[in-house]
Amino acid sequence: MRRSTPLILFAAFAILLLAGNAFAWSFAVCGDSRDDKNGILVKILSEIDKSPMEFLIHTGDLERGGGEKRWSGFRKKTAGFTKPLHFAIGNHEIYGGGSSDAFVRFFGLPAASYSFDHKDAHVAILDNDRGNLDGDMIAWLDNDLASHPKGKTGIRHLIVAMHVPPKTDTLDPHGTPDDYGDMSNRLFKVLKRHGVALVLCSHEHMHQIYDWNGIKVIVSGGAGAPMYPFQRYGYYEIDLSDDTPHEIFHAINP
| Residue 97: predicted pLDDT | 87
pTM of the model: 0.91
Look at residue 13 and tell me if it is in a domain: no
Total domain count, the chain:
1
Look at residue 8 and tell me if it is in a domain: no
| Residue 17: predicted pLDDT | 39
Look at residue 7 and tell me if it is in a domain: no
| Residue 3: predicted pLDDT | 47
Give per-residue pLDDT as tens, 109-154. 999 999 999 999 999 999 999 999 999 999 999 999 999 999 988 9
Look at residue 112 and tell me if it is in a domain: yes
User: Which residues span the domain enclosing 236?
Assistant: 24-251
Look at residue 6 and tell me if it is in a domain: no
CATH number for the domain spanning 155: value is: 3.60.21.10
| Residue 154: predicted pLDDT | 94
Residues of the chain with pLDDT under 70: 1-23
| Residue 23: predicted pLDDT | 62
Look at residue 152 and tell me if it is in a domain: yes
| Residue 22: predicted pLDDT | 54
Secondary structure of the chain in HEC code, one letter for each residue: CHHHHHHHHHHHHHHHHHHHCCCCCEEEEECCCCCCCCCHHHHHHHHHHHCCCCCEEECCCCCCCCCHHHHHHHHHHCCCCCCCEEECCCHHHHCCCCCHHHHHHHHCCCCCCEEEEECCEEEEECCCCCCCCCHHHHHHHHHHHHCCCCCCCCCCEEEEECCCCCCCCCCCCCCCCCCHHHHHHHHHHHHHHHCCCEEEECCCCCEEEEEECCEEEEEECCCCCCCCCCCCCEEEEEECCCCCCEEEEEECCC
Look at residue 189 and tell me if it is in a domain: yes
